[in-house]
Amino acid sequence: MNANGLGKGVRIGALALLVSSLAACGTATVVRPGGSGAAASTPKTSVPKPGQTVVVRKGDTIYALARIHDITPADLIAWNRLDNPSQIYPGQVIRLYPQGAGSGRAPTTVVTAPRPATGSGSTPSTAPSTTPATPVKSSIAWRWPADGAVVGRYVAGDATKQGVDIAGSSGAPVRASANGVVVYSGAGLVGYGELIIIKHSDQWLSAYGHNRKRLVNEGQNVKAGEQIAEMGRTGANRDMLHFEIRYNGKPVDPQQYLPAR
């Protein structure tokens, strides 16, 4: 995807596991503390906070977050499956409870949110994510999230082309590609503008970037075809939607799952 696309900053989960799916319900919350400056001794035992997460801000470390939230660093690392806890980055979402200890209605799972790969203010990226050569089968009935021509296509292994760009006009409806729960709705990730991420199952999620206006909140259940945003150009230089489908946090080609048109 060219510099107009969300892909100029896209790495949805290549370095670490991000947005925690806060069970399949509307009780999801995202806790955004004022930073990592609160000084306290590192806790010896953890106090889990079911259903809560924290968004990493510039200057945060796993150890500072552990102190702030009364969780041992070891548990915080284990609960988020962090292979390298020194590589957390702004915009990453850290779960404050172990997997399976969410709302009590369904086991929680880890999904991912976009992160910038390169560019001003972003952390240098590592090797791009890989995608299985053979498309993973999906039982989800995907549908196109917006009308318009595809002006940017997915390229396997290219960290700048991990989805498709759909051209359109400002204010055009952006719709949920399948039933799911909103796990992110915000504009806190540089390069993506107004962004929405929807979890559809324990393995599948979709992301919608560059919106003019977001119409849904985190934790909200949505139906396939329901309008979730208005198309725009936040984080881009033309009106368009950047759309991604992710399987277990890794990008797949949306056009292998969307119906022909």
Phi, psi at 89, each rounded to 5°: -145, 155
Question: What are the b/e assignments for 228-246, b being 16+ CB within 10 Å?
Answer: bbbbbebbbeebbbbbbbb
Q: Give the residue from 73, 70, 68 showing the smallest Cα distance to 38.
A: 68
Cβ neighbours for 162, distance < 8 A, ≥ 6 positions apart: 1, 7, 10, 11, 12, 129, 154, 244, 251
Q: How far apart are CA 243 and CA 197, in angstroms?
A: 10
Q: Class of the 20-110 domain?
A: alpha beta
pLDDT, position 157: 83
Decide: 18 and 43 in contact? Cβ < 8 Å: no
CATH number of 138-256: 2.70.70.10
* Sequence-ordered alpha helix ranges (H) in the chain: 62-68, 73-79
Domain boundaries, the chain: 20-110, 138-256
Alpha carbon separation from 13 to 41, 88, 103, 165, 229 (Å, rounded): 30, 11, 24, 20, 23
Q: Which pair of tokens denotes residue 77?
A: 């690392």
Decide: 113 and 246 in contact? Cβ < 8 Å: no
Phi-psi region of 165 (alpha: psi -120 to 50; beta: other; left: phi over 0): beta
Q: How far apart are CA 202 and CA 246, in angstroms?
A: 11
pLDDT, position 6: 43
Number of continuous H segments (helices) and E segments (strands) in the chain: 2, 15
pLDDT, position 42: 62
**Distance in Å from the first CA to the final CA of the chain:** 21
Task: Kindly give the pairing relationship between strand 53-55 and strand 20-21.
Answer: unpaired
Q: Residue-wise pLDDT tens for the chain (261 aa)?
A: 444 444 434 344 432 234 433 223 333 333 333 344 333 466 778 888 888 888 888 788 888 888 888 898 888 888 888 877 777 877 788 888 887 654 433 333 334 444 443 333 333 344 444 444 578 899 999 999 999 999 999 998 887 788 999 999 999 999 999 999 998 898 877 677 899 999 999 889 999 999 999 999 988 999 999 999 999 999 899 999 999 999 887 889 999 999 998
pLDDT, position 57: 80
Strand, coil or helix: what is 68? helix
Q: How far apart are CA 1 and CA 21, in angstroms?
A: 28
pTM: 0.57
